[in-house]
Structure 1
Amino acid sequence: LSLFKQDEEAEAKAEEEKRRLEEEEKKKQEEEKQKMLAENVTSDNMMVNTSEDKGKAVASEHDPLVLLLQEQLATQKA
């Protein structure tokens, strides 16, 4: 009976560790998306600023994915 209980505890610990690792990976991926988003926005701003410096304003439409990620970031910060 105690071996069965030990086995259950070990299995529960393994599942908990797996969940923790999956959450860490998900968080890491989300942070990388946000970092890429920030880099894209900075890049877009630099292009617009450069064009305005030359007297030519450039209107750029954001990718729907970028808009979605911005919305998710705003929701997370709120």
Structure 2
Amino acid sequence: MKRIEEKRLQEEEKKRQEEEVAQQKLLSENNAAHGSDIMDVETSEQVNLDKGKAIVSGSDPLVLKLQEDLAARKAEQELLKEEVKNLTESQHHV
């Protein structure tokens, strides 16, 4: 029983680390692609370890920021697609 719990905790820790790496990669790509300043994001609510059990409290502000950025980029991409479509149609009429 103890081994199962230890293995589960190890898997949770590995998953958490993979998520952090993915977030860092996404931030790096975002900063490189858009030339924006690197933001210092301090998280007020982080994973606390209490006797070997992970306790997650609230949404990470970094995740919320990334979600907002993604939604804004999707909207911008849709506008650009529409503009390209309109330009293409206007060129056919010329």
TM-score, with normalisation over the residues of structure 1? Answer: 0.49
Higher relative contact order (CA 8 A, sep 6+): 1
TM-score norm. by structure 2 comes to 0.41
More strand by share: 2
Higher helix share: 1
